[in-house]
């Protein structure tokens, strides 16, 4: 299958027809997603889940846990902050993103992963918050941590979709998981949650950009298995009827 950056907008629209709408062009909203990396019998594997068919955006597709960013997440206390090189990548040249916004993006990925899969990223220790969205961490005595997160990709949903997001993709190793709840998370956003090898993930019903990010991540791990902080980050978007890829 072609990579995102090798396609025209018309080709992307044809492939993602269920998500294309004739509505006005929407402004992308900040979103974050987390790729949990593990080592399975078949090699490297990732955690994915299928979106319910009732969703207006990408129904029935396999995706990584994630969702819209909540600016209030920036106020959540953490055991370890983002690595400075990762924070700098998120902020970008000219400080287009504030440090608070970068923190909110990363924490949103952690929160959404808990809500959708029941997996808590962090360390055992006292944690208290007034935020209703983080009570699961407080109840289980887990203090969120961003130290192991790596910023690996950014993608803006093409125009003409029923939803549009400016999504930052983060990756983290399973060793950074503090707790995996057997009953899953408090929401039912995803079903059929499973660890898939990269080949299994590619053969599943996944969006084009998800496949492209997986390919990028695999190549990076082959040359940089430790996911060194501050590495170049591919940024995908559509402009002038063609998909583009630039490095941040």
Q: What are 61-91's pLDDT values in tens digits?
A: 889 999 999 999 999 999 999 999 999 999 9
Print the domain residue range for 229. Answer: 4-247
19: closest CA among 210, 161, 119, 129? 161
- Rounded to whole angstroms, what are the CA distances from 106 to 19, 62, 96, 149? 26, 21, 16, 8
pLDDT digits (tens, 9 = 90+) for 160-178: 787 889 999 999 999 999 9
What is the tally of structural domains in the chain?
A: 1
Exposure on the CB side of residue 245, measured as CA atoms within 13 A: 14
Pairing of strands 119-124, 62-63: unpaired
Entry pTM: 0.93
CA dist., res. 155 & res. 145, Å (int): 24
For the chain, give the mean pLDDT: 91
pLDDT at 94: 85
Strand segments, DSSP code E, in 128-176 are 142-144, 150-156, 165-173
- Reading the block at residue 31, the tokens are 């979103």
Q: Is the Cβ–Cβ distance between 47 and 62 less than 8 Å?
A: no
The CATH number for 242's domain is 3.90.79.10
CA dist., res. 88 & res. 42, Å (int): 35
């Amino acid at each position: 299958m072609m990579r995102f950056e090798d396609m025209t907008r018309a080709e992307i629209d044809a492939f993602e027809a269920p998500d294309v709408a004739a509505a006005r062009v929407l402004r992308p909203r900040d979103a974050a997603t987390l790729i949990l990396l593990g080592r399975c019998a078949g090699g490297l594997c990732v955690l994915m889940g299928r979106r319910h068919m009732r969703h207006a955006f990408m129904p029935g597709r396999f995706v990584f846990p994630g969702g819209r960013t909540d600016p209030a997440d920036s106020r959540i206390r953490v055991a370890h902050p983002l690595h400075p090189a990762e924070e700098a990548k998120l902020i970008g040249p000219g400080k287009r993103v504030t440090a608070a916004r970068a923190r909110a993006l990363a924490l949103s990925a952690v929160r959404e992963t808990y809500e959708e899969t029941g997996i808590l990223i962090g360390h055992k220790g006292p944690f208290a918050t007034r935020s209703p969205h983080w009570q699961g961490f407080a109840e289980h005595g887990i203090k969120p941590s961003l130290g192991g997160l790596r910023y690996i990709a950014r993608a803006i949903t093409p125009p003409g979709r029923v939803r549009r997001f400016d999504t930052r993709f983060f990756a983290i190793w399973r060793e950074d998981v503090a707790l995996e709840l057997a009953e899953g998370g408090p929401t039912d956003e995803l079903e059929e949650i499973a660890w898939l090898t990269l080949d299994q993930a590619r053969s599943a019903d996944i969006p084009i950009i998800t496949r492209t990010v997986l390919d990028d991540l695999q190549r990076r791990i082959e040359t940089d298995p430790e996911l060194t902080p501050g590495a170049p980050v591919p940024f995908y978007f559509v402009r002038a009827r063609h998909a583009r890829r630039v490095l941040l």
